[in-house]
Chain A
C-alpha cells in the first residue's frame, strides 16, 4: 500500500475499486498518461475506442441507462472535451449517471491558452451535477470516488473530472480509504410520512384518479412497487416517454403515453382527472403542453427525488421529496379503511371504463388503421412488424434517436420491461441512437439491441459503426426509418408553415452499401412484404445489421398537440 503510483495509475485503480469496468473514449495529448497506465489494467478496465467523443459520451449514456450503473467516457483536452459537451448536456437533461474524465493541459500552462486548452469545467458547469478540475495527484483517488457517488445517487446526472497532464504523471502513495464527506450533498430518500398520508387521503377522496410514472420509477428500480400500488387501488396508469416500460402496456390499467404525441384519450383523461399522482416525472413541457392549462381539475401529488422539480413547472397540492421506490413502499404501507378503498375502486373502475371508451373512439384509428390505401411502405408497417417480432424473440432493447421515428416507436411498439426503451428525451439529441445502442450492446451482450433512427440522426454519428466492428459487437441492429427528410421539422412546416420545406429535404448515401463498407450486413426494404423477412434476416445474422426502410416520405406523427397549446387541443389527422 505504500508503493508510489502515478496519477494515471491511481485513476485506473480508483475506477476499478468503485465498480467501473468499461469506458468509452478517445486518447489525445493531455490524456495520454491515462492511456499509458490503462494498458496495465486492461483485464479489469475495458476501453472501447470510439470514432468521435460524442459517440463515446452517448455510448456511456446507453451503458448507464440500460444498467443503472455509471457510464464512463473519456476525452482529451480541447476539442476532445468540447465534443463531449452534447452527451453531457443530454445526460443532464435525462438524469443519466455519467462520469466524463477529461485530460487537461499541464498546470504550468493552464490559463495561458496553451495548445488544446479549453476551460471545460467552466463550459460544463451549467450542464453537470458537479465538476472538478484536479491539478494535484493527491486529489485524484478521492475525486473519482466522490464523482461516481454524486453521479449515481439522488437524482443521477453527469459529473466531469478534468485532470491536468502533470497530475496524471506525478507520483504519490495513493489513499483510497478516505471516506466521502459532502456536507452539502444529502439526497432525501425517504418521503415525509405526513405527506404520504395526505396524498393517500386526497387520492381516496377522488373519483377520477390517474397515476403518472416517469423516468424516476425506472431509475429507482421501482416498477414492481408501481405495479403493486396501481393494482391495489386500481389506478389508471399513464407512462411518460421516459416512463415507457415502467408499467407493462398490456396491463388492464395501463392507458399509455401523454403529451405532445401522446394518445388523445390519455390527454383528455388528464384534463378531466380530479387527482393526479406523478411519480418520478418532471412535468416537462412536452408532457404538459401549455402548463397553465394542464390538468385543470386535478389535485396534484408530485413525488420526485429532486426538490427543485416540485413546483417548478406545475403547482402541486402535495409535494413528496424522496426516492420513487421508497415513497411507493410508504404508500403501500398505508392501510386505509377497506370500505373507503372499495368505494374508491368503484369510482376508479367507472373512470377507467370511461377512458377506455374514449380510447376505442380515438386510438385505434391512429394506431395502425389510419393507413391510406396504398401499397407504399409506411413507417407504421415497420413498427407493426417490429413490435411483433422483437416481443416474440424477447431479450431486446430499443434505442431511439430524435424525431418522427422516435415518437412512432414510443407509440407503436409495445413496452413491457424497464430499461428496454432508451431515448434522448429532454435534450432531444439527434445522433444519440447508434452510439447509445453501442453502449447498451456492450453492457448487455445477452440482448439484441435495436437502434431505431431517422436518416437525419443516423448520419450524425454513424461512424461508430466502425467502433462496433473493431470491438466485435454483434448484438446490434440498426433500423433506419428513411423518409429523405428531417421529418419532424418537415411535419411542422407542413402543418404550421404552409409546406415551406426549408432545409428539410435530405439526401443520404446508399445505406446498405455504407453498412457493407463498414463490414456490417446491409438490407434495403422498399415494400411492405419485405419487412418481416428483413427483420428475420437481421435476427438470423450473427453480427451487426443495418436495415434501410425506405418509407413513404410525407407521413405525419399523430396525434399532436401544437406547441404551447393545451393538451386538450389535439390535431388527430
Chain B
C-alpha cells in the first residue's frame, strides 16, 4: 500500500481528534503516524497524518465529511519539510561515551541527559534520518525510546495557513436546497 502524508486543518473543538481517528478506524484506514497541535491561528488545529492506503481519495473525502475539518491536503508529492523527534535512552558504560558523542554530532542530535550508565539523546530530523540514527545506536543497547508522529510543512510561499481559511470562510445563508427546514 502507498504511504501518504496528509496535512489537515480543523477547528479546535472538543472531540475533533476523536472524530478523525474514529473515522480512520471504522473505515479501516491504517494510520502510520499522527501528530496534532495548534497553528498560528487561534481556534485552528493542524494534524499531520501518515496513512497507508490505496484509496487516498476516499480518505480525503471522508475527512472532509467531518464538519470541523476545514482543509485536507495530500502533500506526499510536494516539496516538504518533514520532521520527527525521538528521545532515546541508551545504556552507555563510560568507555563508550566518546563514540556516542561522535555519532550524535554527525547526525546533529543532542545529548540531553547524562548519568553514570545512561544517556538520553534527542534526535530531530526527517523520518529516514531518525531511522538511520536509531539503527546506528541500537548496538549500544536502547533502554527506552519514544518517538513523536511526523509533522510536515510545504516549502516556499504556498502552504496551509489557518488564517486564510477563516478569511475565505462562508456564511451559510441561502444555502441548502435539500430538505431545508420549513420556516
Contact = CB atoms under 8 A, between A and B. Distances in A.
Nearest to A309: B61
A180 B181 contact: no
A149 B18 CA distance: 23
A369 interface: no
Nearest to A186: B170
A482 to B, nearest CB: 35
Interface stretch (B28-36, B62-70, B137-145): B62-70
B170 A312 contact: no
A148 interface: yes
Nearest to B59: A308
Contacts of B70: 183-184
B173 A125 contact: no
Contact of B68 (A97, A153, A184, A305): A184
Nearest to B27: A126
Contact of A19 (B15, B170, B178, B181): B181
Contacts of A219: 178-179
B158 interface: no
Interface string B146-183: 00000000000000000001101111110111111111
Contacts of A70: 179, 181
Interface in A125-140: 125-126, 129-130, 133
Interface in B16-30: 18-19, 22-23, 26
A220 B178 contact: yes
A84 B65 CA distance: 23
B14 interface: yes
Given A68-B179, A148-B181, A156-B179, A184 B15 contact: no
B181 A311 contact: no
A121 B176 contact: no
Contacts of B173: 179-180
A122 interface: yes
A426 B168 CA distance: 36
Contact of A326 (B10, B23, B168, B177): B177
B58 interface: yes
A181 B169 contact: yes
Contact of A69 (B169, B171, B179): B179
Contacts of A19: 181-183
- How many of chain B's residues touch chain A, expressed as a range? 35 or more
B172 to A, nearest CB: 5
Given A129-B67, A183-B169, A184-B68, A189 B62 contact: no
Given A68-B179, A184-B67, A326-B177, A311 B172 contact: no
A302 interface: no
B11 to A, nearest CB: 6
Contacts of A121: 15
A437 to B, nearest CB: 20
A317 to B, nearest CB: 15
A183 B41 CA distance: 14
Given A183-B165, A184-B66, A308-B58, A97 B18 contact: no
Interface in B91-121: none
B57 interface: yes
Given A125-B19, A133-B14, A307-B61, A186 B179 contact: no
A150 interface: yes
Interface string A6-41: 000000000000111000000000000000000000
Contacts of B176: 149, 152-154, 187, 189
A325 interface: yes
Interface in A262-310: 305-308
A404 B18 CA distance: 39
B179 A180 contact: no
A182 interface: yes
Contacts of B183: 18-19
A53 interface: no
Contacts of B11: 183-184
A323 interface: yes
A185 interface: yes
A155 interface: yes
Which of B10, B23, B165, B170 has most chain A Cβ within 10 Å?
B170
Contacts of B182: 19, 69
Given A126-B23, A183-B169, A156 B67 contact: no
Nearest to B19: A125
Contacts of B165: 183
A323 B58 CA distance: 20
A325 B177 contact: yes
A308 B170 contact: no
A184 B172 CA distance: 11
Contacts of A97: 179
A182 B58 contact: no
B65 A308 contact: yes
Contacts of B18: 122, 125
B9 to A, nearest CB: 9
A350 to B, nearest CB: 36
B61 A308 contact: yes
Contacts of B61: 307-308
B10 to A, nearest CB: 7
Nearest to A148: B181
Contact of B58 (A125, A312, A325): A312
A129 B176 CA distance: 15
A18 B181 contact: yes
Nearest to B183: A19
Contacts of A68: 179
Nearest to A65: B179
Q: Which 3 A-B pairs have the closest CB atoms?
A: A153-B176, A183-B169, A308-B61
10 contacts: A68-B179, A70-B179, A125-B18, A182-B67, A183-B166, A184-B69, A185-B67, A219-B179, A308-B64, A312-B58
Given A148-B181, A187-B175, 9 more contacts: A20-B181, A125-B18, A152-B176, A183-B11, A184-B66, A184-B69, A187-B176, A189-B177, A306-B65
